[in-house]
Structure 1
Amino acid sequence: MSFSSGVKDELSRHQTLARHCQIAEIAAIISMCGGVSISEKDHYSLKIQTENVYVARKYFTLLKKAFNIEVEVSIRQGTFSKGSRTYTVAVLNHEDAIRILKAARLFNADMEIEEQFSISDNLVIQKTCCRRAFIRGAFLAAGSISDPQKFYHFEIVCATVHKAVQLQEIMNDFGVDAKIVQRKKHFVVYLKEGSQIVDMLNVMGAHVSLMELENVRILKEMRNSVNRKVNCETANIHKTVSAAVRQIEDIRYIQQKIGFEQLSEGLAEIARLRLEQPEATLKELGMMLSTPVGKSGVNHRLRKLSDIAETLRDNEEENYYD
């Protein structure tokens, strides 16, 4: 089972106790994957179609709890894929369909089908708990979440830009920064930050999945932290080794051209010591001197040796061209 399927499985088993929250979740599912049919005799029927068994199961359960009505469930096997199934949950009774549509505020004042899922002016999602339920229903019906082992991505696909903007507003009411992007004919409301996806799982009530994602995030952060430290230490080692190689080259050049006898006592001592201890750090070299000095003192002497070597090279180059 994928991580996304696991989240939906958990949400489909989530106990929505308050009727107003059940209606908000029903409204979201209808909004995302539902349809209304009106016969010539103005007979209303309501159905949702989904390839996800968790959506069908949750919608069926919600209708039973909130309205205690008869619901027809059918399953159609996919034509091209043996594992593909389409689940249809239909309310064929006219009165029952009208009750659901009215409760979900899908009728306007003129009894026409309308969807205005706005925090400010729709009673279905006025309460915080109902907004949580609405997001849960929307995600069940049209959402997905990536495997956190690979990358962080949470999205809900909407059929219209209006639905996307309304959903974005509801999600952002919980302190996240949901974005919208158009993908072909659809509009996708998405989150990319791992911490915000954790927050959204908490909002929807997917606490088991939340802990699983948090564990992945902790392990990732630990690995990244270790990698950063290793890379930093590797860079420092490389820098130290490169510096030591240059220092030894300079010292050997001085030894070859003028000998250590021409150097001051302090410079001659550090020159010999560096040749004897090519892998020693500046601090270690300083401790080995007859009169110990700190890192800065050792660095100062080695830089003087490098300057001398550079001067000798310049003089040799001038003599060559003369």
Structure 2
Amino acid sequence: MSFSRKVKDELVKKDFTVTGKEYKITSVDNEQSYIRKYLRDKFLEAGSVTDPNKDYHLEFICQNQDDVGKIMAGLQSFGLHPKTTERGKHPIVYLKDASEISDVLNIVGAHSALMDFENVRILKEVSENVNRRVNFETANINRTVRASIRQTEDIRLIQEKLGFKNLEPGLREIAEARLRNPGASLEELAAGLESPIGKSGANHRMRKLARLAAELRSKTAEE
């Protein structure tokens, strides 16, 4: 059974039926109940909502622009932001924002379907957050590995061509620390020095080593 069918079956069980009646608002107090009833009937008549496991999309297929105007106005009265398009000869009023689709299900009285929709939405958001976190951590690890490989290559070149004894103490310390800990992050290297420094200080030293390695490579190429 489609998600739209579940919503409509729930509404029908609550004795909400399509009447085709023109709703005329006669008082401010009754305005929302009339609008809810109108939107409920229009959804039963020609509405649909996509299974939230696949996508977020709720729409009303309209017969004419008068329908479009009334449905748009009804949804907007609840603070929603519907959009319009056309499919074949029929204008369509639709929403794609998950929170606004939840609001519509609540407005028309499909509370059981609303709970199902929100459960799927929460699980999807949790899964997306976990994936974003994993991707972020993976990117950080990859950056650390690439930086470590590049720094290690520079340091070994300096060790071979110049020797650590010719480096100033701070550069020698960070260079030796990198060779001892090729997989460590810059923060870890900085914190593990005999006199711990900040990440910016460690980065400054690594940049000086990189410039020195570049100079050594340039000299080698000229020889």
Which 4+ runs in 1 deviate beyond 4 A? 123-126
The 10-residue stretch of structure 1 (199-208 or 160-169) with the greater mean CA deviation from structure 2: 160-169
Cα deviation, 1:51-84, whole Å, max 9, x if unaligned, reads xxxxxxxxxxxxxxxxxxxxxxxxxxxxxxxxxx
The residue that corresponds to 1:196 in the other structure is 100
How many equivalent residue pairs?
A: 221
Decide which structure has the larger Cα Rg and report it: 1
In the alignment, the residues of structure 2 paired with residue 287 and residue 175 of structure 1 have an alpha-carbon distance, to the nearest angstrom, of: 53
Structure 1 residue 267 and structure 2 residue 162: aligned?
Answer: no
Choose which of 117, 120, 142 in structure 2 pairs with 1:213: 117
Give the deviation of 1:128 after TM superposition: 1.6
Choose which of 30, 48, 56 in structure 2 pairs with 1:152: 56
Give the deviation of 1:313 after TM superposition: 1.9
The residue that corresponds to 2:200 in the other structure is 296
Structure 1 residue 4 and structure 2 residue 7: aligned?
Answer: no
The residue that corresponds to 1:226 in the other structure is 130
Partner SS for 2:196: coil
The residue that corresponds to 1:281 in the other structure is 185
The residue that corresponds to 2:216 in the other structure is 312
> By percentage of residues, which structure has more helix?
2
In the alignment, the residues of structure 2 paired with residue 271 and residue 181 of structure 1 have an alpha-carbon distance, to the nearest angstrom, of: 63
Q: How big is the alpha-carbon RMSD for the aligned residues of Structure 1 and Structure 2? A: 2.0
In the alignment, the residues of structure 1 paired with residue 188 and residue 87 of structure 2 have an alpha-carbon distance, to the nearest angstrom, of: 61
Structure 1 residue 26 and structure 2 residue 30: aligned?
Answer: no
Cα deviation, 1:101-133, whole Å, max 9, x if unaligned, reads xxx35xxxxxxxxxxx6xxxx348963212101
Give the deviation of 1:229 after TM superposition: 1.1
The residue that corresponds to 1:180 in the other structure is 84
In the alignment, the residues of structure 1 paired with residue 41 and residue 135 of structure 2 have an alpha-carbon distance, to the nearest angstrom, of: 45
Task: Summarize the Cα distance change of 1:287–1:172 in structure 2 as closer, same or farther, 3 Å threshold.
Answer: closer
Structure 1: gaps spanning 5 or more residues:
17-21, 28-103, 106-116
In the alignment, the residues of structure 1 paired with residue 123 and residue 156 of structure 2 have an alpha-carbon distance, to the nearest angstrom, of: 49
In the alignment, the residues of structure 1 paired with residue 75 and residue 195 of structure 2 have an alpha-carbon distance, to the nearest angstrom, of: 69
Contact 1:7–1:209 under 8 Å retained in 2: yes
AA aligned to 1:191 is L
Give the deviation of 1:184 after TM superposition: 0.7
Contact 2:58–2:96 under 8 Å retained in 1: yes
> By percentage of residues, which structure has more strand?
1
Contact 1:124–1:130 under 8 Å retained in 2: no
In the alignment, the residues of structure 2 paired with residue 196 and residue 123 of structure 1 have an alpha-carbon distance, to the nearest angstrom, of: 24
Task: Summarize the Cα distance change of 1:137–1:251 in structure 2 as closer, same or farther, 3 Å threshold.
Answer: same
Contact 2:72–2:82 under 8 Å retained in 1: yes
In the alignment, the residues of structure 2 paired with residue 250 and residue 266 of structure 1 have an alpha-carbon distance, to the nearest angstrom, of: 16
AA aligned to 1:196 is E
Partner SS for 1:182: strand
Cα deviation, 1:157-194, whole Å, max 9, x if unaligned, reads 11222222222112221211111111111111111111
AA aligned to 1:5 is R
AA aligned to 1:229 is R
Task: Summarize the Cα distance change of 1:8–1:251 in structure 2 as closer, same or farther, 3 Å threshold.
Answer: same
Structure 1 residue 241 and structure 2 residue 139: aligned?
Answer: no
AA aligned to 2:36 is R
Contact 1:251–1:271 under 8 Å retained in 2: yes
Query: What is the TM-score of this pair, normalised by structure 1?
Result: 0.64
In the alignment, the residues of structure 2 paired with residue 174 and residue 291 of structure 1 have an alpha-carbon distance, to the nearest angstrom, of: 62
Give the deviation of 1:287 after TM superposition: 3.6
In the alignment, the residues of structure 2 paired with residue 290 and residue 217 of structure 1 have an alpha-carbon distance, to the nearest angstrom, of: 51
Give the deviation of 1:290 after TM superposition: 2.8
AA aligned to 1:9 is D
Give the deviation of 1:8 after TM superposition: 0.4
Listed as ranges, the matches of 1:3-152 within 5 Å are 3-15=3-15, 25-27=18-20, 104-105=21-22, 122-123=24-25, 127-152=31-56
Partner SS for 1:255: helix
Query: What is the TM-score of this pair, normalised by structure 2?
Result: 0.91
Task: Give the share of equivalent positions with the same residue, in percent.
Answer: 47
The residue that corresponds to 1:47 in the other structure is none
Give the deviation of 1:15 after TM superposition: 4.5
